[in-house]
Structure 1
Amino acid sequence: MRRLILLLTFSLSFLSISAQIKVEKWRIYEIILKGDSKGNPFTDVQLSAKFTNGENTKMVSGFYDGNGIYKIRFMPQTTGPWTYVTTSNLKSLSNKKGKFECFSNTNGNHGQVVVKDTFNFAYSDNKTYYPFGTTCYAWVHQGDSLAQLTLKTLSNGYFNKIRMCIFPKDYDWNKNEPLLYPLEGKPLTDWDYTKFNPPYFQNIEKRIAQLDSLGIEADLIVFHPYDRWGFQKMDRKTDDLYINYIIARFAAYKNVWWSLANEYDYVKSKKTDDWNHFIQLFAEKDPYNHLRSIHNGADLYDQTNPLITHVSIQNEDTYKAKELRPKYKKPIVYDECRYEGNINWPWGNLTGQEMVNKFWRGVVNGGFVGHGETYVTENPVKWGYESQDILWWSKGGVLRGQSQERIKFLRNIIESTPGYLTPIINTEFWVPYSYVAFKDEYFLHYFSTDQSRSQIVYLPENLKYKIEIINAWDMTITPVKGEFSGKNLIQLPQKPFTALRITKIM
């Protein structure tokens, strides 16, 4: 009998251990609660939870997800046992307690992206991150079929960041109504600004999770001016309600970035004080301190604001990154440098060669560059309520251009470097090209489209290097015979898009 009792006790103990909830570091632990939904649960109910792990504590806000369901999402950043207790003005939601075990991150999960060494980015586990982004404003508002095609295109590994709008967008080649709306009410402008539509936000977080599975950061655009529904004209109180709601819903996803606006200066209903307030609100309310930026149209925002984590620019002069780095002392990201395409708008008719050139010129001057594509085809497809072209920049789908493979080629080169690259400004001698270096171990020179002859390359006298000629358009890498040090005259092929990769021989 005693042996039977011991076995039973062991079995129950084993079941208890095996049933313990476990969550991977930087993944999501979600509390789901059933509560009263009388009145307005979006404004009348306050819900939060205090998560504790030793001396680590996090206060996280909850949100209403419809049908009487309330949720609190938490991203643990420390391994070990966590406990939590909820607080609410609704008795049925308050003083709910629980615990879980956070285990170490597995392969492929490197955490959220943060600023590293002033001018660069890294994941939470210190793995280097170099943004190679694209823009796809309204892809999340087009339905499953087109969204799946967009994800299939993204799975080819061209990009590791995508700019996307939370609100629907109204612009050329994007005139169809979204399948869902963010607020309760009647389109186009009769909204109840105090009540969100949970399925709308469920769809967005579904896409955020799908992007994360592909290793892609979701750069979420919070406000934008291209709007026929009135969302850009919400008052301060409504804006704050909206911002608090998206923080509560989305912040636990590790791949989220906050872009306060696309072309903030064209949102005429907002003033500088509003934007400063929003930046402050995200900094205070986001428990995980995700990256924050604000993107310009004609006028660059005051990027010296210490709560802005990196400079997000619309400007085609990507080679000026070297000048902006010391000015702002932040990573410089040219999220828009015009688009590869054939539309009549001047910002959307770059050739593939010009787009690739802008990427290389940005990188060898210490910046990061974003892609976009705007090709109109002769045979528009049937989608929604009208026949229309599906441009990548607006709705996603497939890429028709030539730059994406070359961008992926550059991305592979940069991700194989031994460390973060710094633009070199020579004071001893002048050279007619830009280049970056990692210590004295690695140099990357780029000669643009109009410099295809021999070039003098200066290297440390007391070290030996190997040199490879890269053609950024043909995507070829050709070794140069010999070992090199000091001053060298390197014969270049008479082709544009030539670069040199110079690596120290250990």
Structure 2
Amino acid sequence: MCVLPTMKMDPPLVPFAGTDPDGLDFDRYNPAFFRHFERRVGDLRDIGVEADIILFDPNDRGYRGFANMGRERDRAYLRYVVARLGAYRNVWWSLANEYNFNRAKTVDDWDDLLRFVRQIDPHERLLSIHNGNRMWEKGNIYDFSKPWISHQSIQHWDTTLTTEWLDKVGKPAVLDEISYEGNLGRRWGNITGQELVRRFWECATRGGYPGHGESYVNNGDRAWLSRGGTLYGESPSRIGFLRTIMESVTDKQTLRYLGRHQPATVSLDLPSRPHHVEVIDTWNMTITPISGVFEGSVRIGLPGRPYLALRITEQEN
């Protein structure tokens, strides 16, 4: 949820006083904008949605000058936004979207601003920063072990790396951009709903928190990804199905996701206690119990199609 508009946006209200785009006064704020923004944050709170508020965005690309306002103006802006919005219980802070696309700031600059947000926020809201480049690399995205960071905020297509990121840092991993279901002419914006659902399952069953996005551009309106509106994709209902499963998991259950593989049988090494096994079809959204009770080393028959998961439940005494 961005505070600052990007270059291609022409919003009716902007955060600063003055004339948009080339007459803005970075030393004065627009109360009407922030009243509107507060109402939207409150609307999200009322329906149980967290607002991950993005404080800086490089995609203005110099159009309004947000990327290079100077250290003191950056701090004054942050002080104002944190003071106005920090009291909402559903607020998170994302210091920047795709921070490394901003050529006016270094990692040291971002660290300085992250420390500043941590210092001025009396509520200690969740705080992170989101990478731009390296989405197609395995390299160092950001050093999330730094003490002012509450969680990892990662843009990367390979959600099987979730385990590695969790092991490396020991902080929750939010994979908030894992590509978009859609038909946009960019490689990050045209994967199928089935592929996005697969990435969700790979991430969630490893202990991460994946994010959804949609970028269809031929449905009579602008792409959903940064403007909202109607969702046309096949993934949202399947993601909702995954959510119900994750929210119902108990400490007596294990989920095993099989992904693209389509084995006719699978071997399990279970503890020496009785277990029940169910086959979850993650695309067709069905859950089918396998007859019998299993313990120890067993081999179980499967339907032999991809995108299945197993839910293994220890039998109650």
Question: TM bucket by the smaller chain?
Answer: over 0.9
Measured against aligned partners, the alpha-carbon deviations of 1:350-379 in whole angstroms (never above 9, x if no partner) come to 10000000000111222111110000115x
Counterpart of 1:306, as a letter, is P
Which runs of 5 or more structure 1 residues have no equivalent in the other structure? 1-163, 381-388, 419-437
Quote the residue 2:197 is aligned against: 356
Q: Deviations over 1:282-337 (max 9, x none)?
A: 11111110000100011512212111010110101111111111211101111111
Note if 1:310 corresponds to 2:173: no
Match of 1:280 among 105, 115, 119: 115
Tell me what 2:40 maps to: 207
Q: Pairwise mapping of residues 218-237 of structure 1 onto structure 2 (< 5 A)?
A: 218-227=51-60, 228-237=63-72
1:179-258 matches, cutoff 5 A: 179-227=12-60, 228-258=63-93
Per-residue CA distance 1:437-493 (angstroms, 9 max, x = gap) = x4xx211011102233210011101x1111111000000001111111111111111
CA pair 176-225 structure 1, distance change in 2 beyond 3 A: closer
TM-score after normalising by structure 1: 0.60
Compute the displacement of 1:271 (Å).
1.4
Provide the rounded CA distance (Å) in 1 between the counterparts of 2:151 and 2:9: 33
The equivalent position to 1:329 in structure 2, one of 150, 166, 170, is 170
Post-superposition CA distance 1:243-274 (Å, at most 9, x none): 00011100000000000111000011111221
Of the three residues 183, 206, 209, the one matched with 1:342 is 183
The TM-score normalised by the length of structure 2 is: 0.95
The letter of the residue matching 2:214 is E
Task: State the secondary structure of the residue aligned to 2:268.
Answer: strand
Equivalent pair of 1:452/1:498 in contact (CA under 8 Å): no
The aligned counterpart of 2:5 is 168
- Matched with 2:247 is 415
1:137-156 correspondence runs (5 A): none
Matches within 5 A, 1:362-381: 362-377=203-218, 380=220
Matched with 2:224 is 392
Name whichever structure is richer in strand by fraction: 1
CA distance in 2, matches of 1:322, 1:190: 48
Which residue of 1 is the match for residue 312 of structure 2?
502
Cα distance change on mapping 1:484 and 1:392 into 2, 3 Å = same
Write the deviation string for residues 212-251 of structure 1: whole angstroms up to 9, x where unpaired: 1110000001101111221122111110010000111000
Instruction: Report the alpha carbon displacement of residue 176 of structure 1 after superposing the two structures with TM.
Output: 4.3
Q: Between Structure 1 and Structure 2, which shows a larger proportion of helix residues?
A: 2
Give 2:137's aligned residue: none
Letter in 1 for 2:271: P
Amino acid at match of 2:210: V
Aligned length: 308
**Paired residue secondary structure (1:254):** coil
In 2: Cα distance, 1:357 partner to 1:456 partner: 22
**Separation (CA, whole Å) in 2 of partners of 1:194 and 1:217:** 29
The residue number in structure 2 matching 1:178 is 11
- Aligned counterpart, 1:60: none
Distance between the aligned counterparts of 1:376 and 1:248, measured in 2?
37
Partner AA of 1:285 in structure 2? I
In structure 2, the partner of 1:136 is: none
- Unpaired runs of at least 5, structure 2: 135-140
The AA in structure 1 aligned to 2:197 is V
CA contact (8 A) 1:303 1:311 kept: yes
Alignment deviations for residues 165-206 of structure 1 (CA, whole Å, 9 cap, x no partner): 111123xxxx34101011111121222111100111111111
CA distance in 2, matches of 1:326, 1:403: 28
Would the alpha carbon gap of residues 265 and 472 (structure 1) be closer, same or farther in structure 2, given more than 3 Å must change?
A: same
Task: Output the CA distance in 2 between the equivalents of 1:494 and 1:259.
Answer: 42
The sequence identity of aligned pairs, in percent, is 44
Return the alpha-carbon distance in structure 2 between the equivalents of residues 446 and 332 of structure 1: 19
Kindly indicate whether residue 280 of structure 2 is the aligned counterpart of residue 477 of structure 1. no
Say if 1:364 and 1:444, in contact at 8 Å, map to a contact too.
Answer: yes
* 8 Å Cα contact 1:464-1:485 kept in structure 2: yes
Mapped to 2, the partners of 1:204 and 1:355 lie a distance apart of: 30
In structure 2, the partner of 1:135 is: none
Maintained 8 Å contact 1:334/1:368: yes
- In structure 1, what is the equivalent of residue 138 of structure 2? none
Q: Which has the higher contact order (CA 8 A, sep 6+)?
A: 1
Residue 263 of structure 1: aligned partner? 98
